[in-house]
Amino acid sequence: MPIKKSAKKALRQNVKKEAKNIRIWRTCKDLIKKTRKNIVAENLTQAEELLQKTIKTLDKAAKKNVIKKNTANRHKSRLTKRLNLLKTGVGKTKK
């Protein structure tokens, strides 16, 4: 445990920042999962809407340094690629 006053304040700040970062990253992960599920279920309109929301959230998280810029770009790229495969009909499964 910190003894000095400045160390105590730094600890309080770190706890708040960590909680905020976890909340932002949790939101990103939830949106990524929802988008993937809609792509697999072939809900094209809903997947497109969620993709836009996910991209916006990932960009904000990268801007705030919650995640790295390349990590955000990788997630956006992979989701976009899957959605485009679904649009062209290449990624459709047989039913």
Residue-wise pLDDT tens digits, 34-46: 999 999 999 999 9
- The answer to whether residue 44 sits within a structural domain is yes
- The answer to whether residue 37 sits within a structural domain is yes
- The answer to whether residue 31 sits within a structural domain is yes
Q: What is the total count of domains within the chain? A: 1
- The answer to whether residue 77 sits within a structural domain is yes
pLDDT for 35 equals 97
Q: What CATH number is attached to the domain comprising 34?
A: 1.20.58.110
- The answer to whether residue 18 sits within a structural domain is yes
- The answer to whether residue 63 sits within a structural domain is yes
pLDDT for 8 equals 97
Mean pLDDT of 14-31: 97
- The answer to whether residue 59 sits within a structural domain is yes
pTM confidence score: 0.85
Mean pLDDT of 57-83: 97
Q: Which domain holds residue 34?
A: 12-87
Provide DSSP, 38-87. HHHTT-HHHHHHHHHHHHHHHHHHHHTTSS-HHHHHHHHHHHHHHHHHHH
pLDDT for 91 equals 60
